[in-house]
Amino acid sequence: MPDQAVATGGADGPDGARSAPSAGPAAVRVEGLWKRFGDQVAVAGIDLELPAGQFIGLVGPNGAGKTTTLSMVTGLLRPDMGRVLVAGHDVWSDPVEVKSRIGVLPEGLRLFERLSGRELLGYMGRLRGLPGEETDKRATQLLDVLDLAGSQHKLVVDYSTGMRKKIGLAAALLHNPEVLFLDEPFEGVDPVSAQTIRGVLERYTSSGATVVFSSHVMELVESLCDWVAVMAAGRIRAAGPLADVRGGAPSLQAAFLELVGAGGRDAGDSLDWLGGQAAR
């Protein structure tokens, strides 16, 4: 894919990343992160070092702990144990340094939906401490680029899923963060909006910023990411440059199924009655 070539070309390439992961400072460093909900362990001791300036995919099946991990990394959920550093600053002891450096698009949390798209951006920008004029200028540009200019005065509550993701992305980008965390940014998004989001994110990473996003769509991750971490049952199964994680497997999908131990499962003969040519 041509855009993948551009994206990886912009970073230091898979080989460089593999030989020296600590060439640049890590954008995010996670140490011994744990989270338990009642009896269920959602995240069971994660150590990760995410390189700066890359497009990073966090992949895993449903319930793997991706959302919990991202929530803890972005300061929205308090971990039971462990430490998270963003650009060298501790998320929990030094929120002033961290919160201005990150942008977040969580999954499953609402927005201020009784504001219009434009009002939401104006509100977020001012909360972030941007001057009013600058906020409005950036909002106009983001709304244009994300194809939301036509519905900027509609209330967010009346937006479609794709439009919500896009306005959420705009709100996360407004203060020009160093690291962007996106939880399932392409979930439920139509191909046109997905391409728009993709274009914005590629432009953003090519300037040296870091994007961390979670997904369970392997083709998407494979075509977008330079670096992936595979999660299952609250643990990291593999992490590194895309080519390394894929290894000898024909695709990331195959490698992923292998890693999470779901390879070789087949419908088999149990549904032999199903199909157009069946006798009855």
Partner 1 sequence: MSAASASAPAAGRASAAAPPAAAAVNLTSVFLRLKLSLIRNGLKGSSKRKAAYFTSLALSLAVACLAMVGLAVLHGNAHAGTVVVLLAAILALGWTFMPLFFPSGDETLDPSRLVMLPLRPRPLVRALLASSLVGIGPLFTVCLAVGSVVAVARGAAGIVAAVVAAPLLVLGCVTLARSVATANVRLLTSRKGRDLALLSGLLIAIGAQVANFASQRLFESGGLARLEPAEAVVRWLPPATAVGMVDSASKGSYGTAAGQLAVTVLALVLLLRFWERSLTALMVTPDGSTIAAAKPSGKRESEGGAGAWAFLPAGRTGAVMQRALRYVVRDPKTKSAWVTALAVGAIVPVFNALQGTGSMYLACFGAGMLGMQMYNQFGQDTSAFWMVAQTISTPREAFEELRARAYALALVTVPYTVVLTAVTAALLEDWAALPAGLGVGLALLGSMLCTGALASARFPYSIPTDGAFKNVAPGQGGLAWAGIFGGMLVSALICSPVIALTVFLNVTDQQSLTWIVLPLGAAWGTFAAWAGLRLAAPTVARTLPEILLAVSKG
Residues that bind partner 1 (CB under 8 A): 74-78, 95-96, 98-100, 104, 106, 108-116, 118-119, 122-124, 126-129, 131-133, 136, 140, 150-151, 153-155, 157-158, 160, 171
Q: Which is nearer to partner 1, 133 or 266 (CB)?
A: 133
State residue 269 phi and psi, 5-degree precision.
Answer: -95, 0
Q: Give min distance, CB of 160 to partner 1, in A.
A: 8
Local structure of residue 175 (DSSP, 8 states): T
Give the C-alpha separation, 24 to 212, whole Å. Answer: 17
Q: Give min distance, CB of 163 to partner 1, in A.
A: 10
Return the bridge partners of 3, or none: none
Q: Which is nearer to partner 1, 103 or 240 (CB)?
A: 103
Q: Give min distance, CB of 103 to partner 1, in A.
A: 9
Q: Give min distance, CB of 30 to partner 1, in A.
A: 17
Give CA angle at 266 (262, 272), nearest 5°.
160
Sole residue written with tokens 């209330």:
155
Local structure of residue 116 (DSSP, 8 states): B
Q: Give min distance, CB of 128 to partner 1, in A.
A: 6
Q: Which is nearer to partner 1, 92 or 263 (CB)?
A: 92
Q: Give min distance, CB of 188 to partner 1, in A.
A: 16
Both tokens assigned to 270: 């149990």
Both tokens assigned to 35: 């989270």
Q: Which is nearer to partner 1, 150 or 275 (CB)?
A: 150
Both tokens assigned to 157: 């509550």
Sole residue written with tokens 């009013």:
132
Q: Which is nearer to partner 1, 101 or 235 (CB)?
A: 101
Q: Which is nearer to partner 1, 35 or 237 (CB)?
A: 35
Give the C-alpha separation, 85 to 73, whole Å. Answer: 8
- 3-state secondary structure at position 180: strand
